[in-house]
Structure 1
């Protein structure tokens, strides 16, 4: 499935809300060979196990890439592509910019704008971290703000926005 411009489907929700499994089912309903882009940097052994669990969820039908920043430089044009996830993608930009919210957001928006112009279907997964407990540290509060603004920007560009709640997709926006 492709369009003249990038079709962004934005899936957001809390931790363990079913975002990834829903996105994978959706991608497979749109393509027999979807693309999966992992934006994570593996920080420790526990996170490595989480990454491996996600890898095990995908079979030979999937084309897999790992890219921490420049997703738009991958060969994903005219593909159905999952980008998982905004939170980890933003973390890379946030660290690169020494916790500069504005600079990190500019880098992120540049990628979203490029995807929006690229033909294909891009299923972008994110987290609603601002719906939980208020961050204790200044850096945590700054990142929560960054995540909220990035989510708003992505949702505005998306043709469809889905909020996952306890494994149930709730349609928020559909053009």
Structure 2
């Protein structure tokens, strides 16, 4: 049963919808593990809309950093998203890229030791122009390294482009 799937792409590429459909084909009762912190009221409303769209078949868990605290053994779990998860570590560790990368890798490795099907959603934020903002450049580098780390361990990697899934691994 253990499987690791990474779904990546740009903003509004269809990553989350594709991941949700995939999870529901693999289990009638998947887990949705949301990694975002609520920054403001607009974002809170966005989260509520996403929760309402999912329906009662989903088990919703909110966890901003310590994914491994949750037992998902023998389940299908969708983690949405790696980018927000990394953001939480990045800012808590004062934008120290090395410390953040190490913390994220360690937590990822602890979490995926469970016998489960993992579907990670992430963003390809480094495909555009280079930012003039130093913090954004550091985070873009971090996100690229984390994506590479997860992709190397993944059984399957899917790149979403304009709502179309392109299998790049597996």
For the residues of structure 1 that align with 2:18 and 2:24, how far apart are their CA atoms?
A: 10
- SS across alignment from 1:36: strand
Q: List runs of 5+ in structure 2 lacking aligned partners.
A: none
CA contact (8 A) 1:115 1:122 kept: no
1:67 to 63, 69, 75: 63
1:103 to 2:99 alignment: yes
1:37 to 2:33 alignment: yes
Query: What CA deviation, in whole Å up to 9, does each residue of 1:37-80 have, x standing for no partner?
Result: 00000111221222122112211100000000001111212210
- SS across alignment from 1:161: strand
Aligned to 1:159: 155
For the residues of structure 2 that align with 1:53 and 1:14, how far apart are their CA atoms?
A: 21
TM-score after normalising by structure 2: 0.97
Q: List runs of 5+ in structure 1 lacking aligned partners.
A: none
Aligned to 1:112: 108
Q: Would you identify which runs of 4 or more consecutive aligned residues in structure 1 move more than 3 Å?
A: none
For the residues of structure 1 that align with 2:117 and 2:104, how far apart are their CA atoms?
A: 18
2:11 to 1, 12, 15: 15
